[in-house]
């Protein structure tokens, strides 16, 4: 009896599918929203994930620091596979900025898929973060 040592077409196909599924999935840290990111890092990560056809599904935000007239924020994302031909936009800011951004996104035909509001008791500062999609 002869044992076949070369891979069959089925084996090659299954190996290719497995490799593709591993490459196309976000890492566990990225999918679960890993670490808190400042604005610059969040934009970089979001662009990197978008190039892999993965969009933010949820956003979490918090105040990083609050000084008079200037607040900085940190964000976390959870991701999902990008529906075909869909585009998205996310932003974090004070209530006035976010109201303006919401109006802009609605004019573009986007709708809110996730929004969170935050409040700092010590300063009385209010802010929110949101994700919009077509």
CA torsion, ordered 121, 128, 29, 31, to nearest 10 deg: 140
Q: How is residue 114 written in tokens?
A: 């996730």
Tens of pLDDT, residue by residue, the chain (134 residues): 455 545 454 344 333 333 333 333 444 444 455 789 999 999 999 999 999 989 999 999 999 988 877 889 999 999 999 877 788 899 999 999 999 999 999 999 999 999 999 999 988 899 999 999 98
Domain range summary for the chain, segments of one domain joined by +: 29-133
Q: How far apart are CA 16 and CA 46, in angstroms?
A: 27
The pTM is what?
Answer: 0.71
Q: How far apart are CA 3 and CA 7, in angstroms?
A: 12
Pairing relationship of beta strands 88-94 and 126-133 according to DSSP bridges: antiparallel
Residue that the structure tokens 């994700």 belong to: 131
């Amino acid at each position: 009896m002869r044992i076949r040592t070369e891979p069959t077409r089925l084996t090659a196909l299954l190996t290719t599918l497995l490799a593709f599924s591993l490459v196309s999935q976000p890492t566990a840290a990225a999918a679960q929203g890993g670490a808190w990111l400042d604005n610059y890092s969040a934009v970089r990560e979001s662009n990197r994930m978008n190039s892999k056809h993965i969009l933010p599904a949820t956003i979490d935000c918090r105040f990083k620091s609050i000084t008079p007239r200037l607040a900085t924020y940190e964000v976390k994302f959870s991701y999902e596979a990008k529906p075909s031909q869909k585009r998205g936009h996310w932003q974090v800011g004070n209530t006035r900025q976010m109201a303006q951004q919401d109006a802009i996104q609605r004019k573009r035909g986007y709708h809110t898929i996730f929004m969170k509001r935050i409040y700092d008791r010590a300063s009385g500062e209010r802010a929110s973060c949101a994700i919009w999609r077509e």
